[in-house]
Amino acid sequence: MTATSTAGRLLLAPQPRRWRRRTVPWIFVGPAAALFGLFFAYPLAASLLQSLDDGAGNYTRLTSDPSFLQSLVNVALILVVQVPIMIALATVLAYVLNQSWLRFRATLRAAYFLPAVTTLVAYAVVFRVLLRTEGGAVNQVLGLQVDWLNDPLWARVALIASITWRWVGYNAIILLAGLQAIGREQYEAAAIDGAGSLTTFTKVILPQLRPVLLFCSITSTIGTLQLFDEPLVLTGGGPGDATLTPILYLYQVGFKQFDFGYAAAIAWVVVLLIGGLSWLQFRYFGKGRG
């Protein structure tokens, strides 16, 4: 064997190793990347192109569509009324569930979290039965004849109540995890300083919970803008458009009217609203960490 051939073998020997180092990661990443492109990136790009099949006409049409504008008013009402109430109730519930004097804490935590794992359609159907005008359990217990699902005001109240029932426990468990991350020494320091329960809660607990509260607020905002099952099953978006949401309207436009370009435009407006509202919450409520 000549010196030249030996040197050539030495130069060529490391190449398979380098090839393997470059190729093996792609073997693992490749399937995930392919699935991401097939089921996320491609549909996302296709829907954007479809929303522009009439140029900017679909988006211009949205600005004068009374049903779409009413759906935005409806979700804005839920955001302003239901989300703060739900988070406030969840915070109080989490605080109670975190108390050492409370018996059967594990059972109660599981019970309050149970609605979050209940099938959306199933619980909406149950609420529809409970809120019937004639023979509904709610009216029988209250001794009233409220037309919960056919009056615009009460239909909104029913929708807000059902959403709150489902998600209070879910947010409470998340907030409970935040409470358990607060060191006992902080409570002891507050007690030594003479702080009462209310002062401890407002001056010690809430500032520490700020990141968790922000997370709950953002996820609740996203969930509100994506509301579909509850208004579909409870009221069908009615009476009139009193409980119509953008996603329910998207469904009606896309799968009943088969106007897919307009439906895609609605979807992209919802995406922009979610992104904008999430950014605003990060921007103005994410400052400081207690």
Which pLDDT does position 28 carry in this prediction? 83
CA distance between the termini of the chain: 74
Whether residue 93 sits in one domain with residue 186: yes
Residue written as token pair 């009139």: 240
The answer to the question of residue 78 being in a domain is yes
DSSP strand E in 30-150: where?
Answer: 53-56
Q: Which uninterrupted H or E stretch holds 36?
A: helix 14-36
Q: Kindly give, in sequence order, each residue whose CB lies less than 8 Å from that of residue 3, ignoring residues fewer than 6 positions away.
A: none
Whether residue 231 sits in one domain with residue 123: yes
The answer to the question of residue 290 being in a domain is no
> Looking at residue 210, which CATH number applies to its domain?
1.10.3720.10
Number of CB atoms found within 10 A of residue 199's CB? 12
Whether residue 87 sits in one domain with residue 69: yes
Average pLDDT of the chain is 85
Using 50, 70 and 90 to split pLDDT, how confident is the model at 187? confident
Burial 79-91 (b: 16+ CB within 10 A, else e): beebbeebbebbb
Whether residue 232 sits in one domain with residue 125: yes
Could you read off the pLDDT of 126-175 as tens digits, one per residue?
888 898 888 888 888 888 888 998 999 999 999 999 999 999 999 999 99
- Distance separating alpha carbons of residues 2 and 231, to the nearest angstrom: 83
Whether residue 80 sits in one domain with residue 10: no
Q: Is 135 exposed, middle or buried (0-12, 13-18, 19+ CB in 10 A)?
A: exposed
Domain count, the chain: 2
Decide if pLDDT at 178 tops 70.
yes
Using 50, 70 and 90 to split pLDDT, how confident is the model at 277? very high
Two structure tokens written together for 168? 């209070």
Which pLDDT does position 144 carry in this prediction? 82
Q: Is 289 helix (H, G, I), strand (E, B) or coil?
A: coil
Q: What is the mean pLDDT of residues 192-211?
A: 80
Domain with 36 in it: 3-51
Please state the separation of Cα 45 from the chain's center in Å.
23
| Sequential DSSP letters for 214-281 | HHHHHHHHHHHHT--HHHHHHTTT-STTTT--HHHHHHHHHHTS--HHHHHHHHHHHHHHHHHHHHHH
Using 50, 70 and 90 to split pLDDT, how confident is the model at 275? very high
Give the least confident one: 70-84, 94-108, 272-286. 94-108
Residue written as token pair 């010690």: 204
Two structure tokens written together for 282? 């990060």
Q: Which residue from 228, 212, 215 is spatially nearest to 78, judged by alpha carbons? A: 228
Whether residue 47 sits in one domain with residue 65: no
Residue written as token pair 């159907």: 125
Q: How many residues does the chain have?
A: 290
Could you read off the pLDDT of 16-58 as tens digits, one per residue?
667 777 777 788 888 888 888 888 888 889 999 999 988 888 9
Decide if pLDDT at 263 tops 90.
yes
The answer to the question of residue 213 being in a domain is yes
Q: What is the mean pLDDT of residues 261-282?
A: 93
The answer to the question of residue 260 being in a domain is yes
